[in-house]
Amino acid sequence: SQQGEEDPQALSIQEGENATMNCSYKTSINNLQWYRQNSGRGLVHLILIRSNEREKHSGRLRVTLDTSKKSSSLLITASRAADTASYFCAPASNTGKLIFGQGTTLQVKP
């Protein structure tokens, strides 16, 4: 399976700190996406990084991709209490289907 495996499973930080979440996968990908889920709600797309890209930014989000190591990381800078949520990586196969991992639960304490 090329399911994304997130690490750590849970992360607790203080407001203002940076949060880093990692993702590993097993097979070749077309792109890799990160999603966020607030408690009890649907997932929301955050960012997509193509297989030929190494780094991408969107606001306070920074995503890196290392296809040689089959890994990606999501960095949230200057975290806020509102960033409290679960974060999922989703590698996309060449057929375009996404495989979601179990997610990282982030708690940002005010």
Partner 1 sequence: DVKVTQSSRYLVKRTGEKVFLECVQDMDHENMFWYRQDPGLGLRLIYFSYDVKMKEKGDIPEGYSVSREKKERFSLILESASTNQTSMYLCASAQSVLRAKNIQYFGAGTRLSVL
Q: Does 101 help bind partner 1 (rule: CB under 8 A)?
A: yes
Contact 91, 99 (CB under 8 A): yes
Q: Does 54 help bind partner 1 (rule: CB under 8 A)?
A: no
Q: Does 97 help bind partner 1 (rule: CB under 8 A)?
A: yes
Contact 16, 109 (CB under 8 A): no
Binding to partner 1 by CB under 8 A, coded x per residue (else -) over 22-41, reads --------xx-x-x----xx
Q: Does 102 help bind partner 1 (rule: CB under 8 A)?
A: yes
Closest distance of CB 10 from partner 1, Å: 12
Q: What is the CA radius of gyration of the chain?
A: 13
Between CA 32 and CA 63 the distance in angstroms is: 10
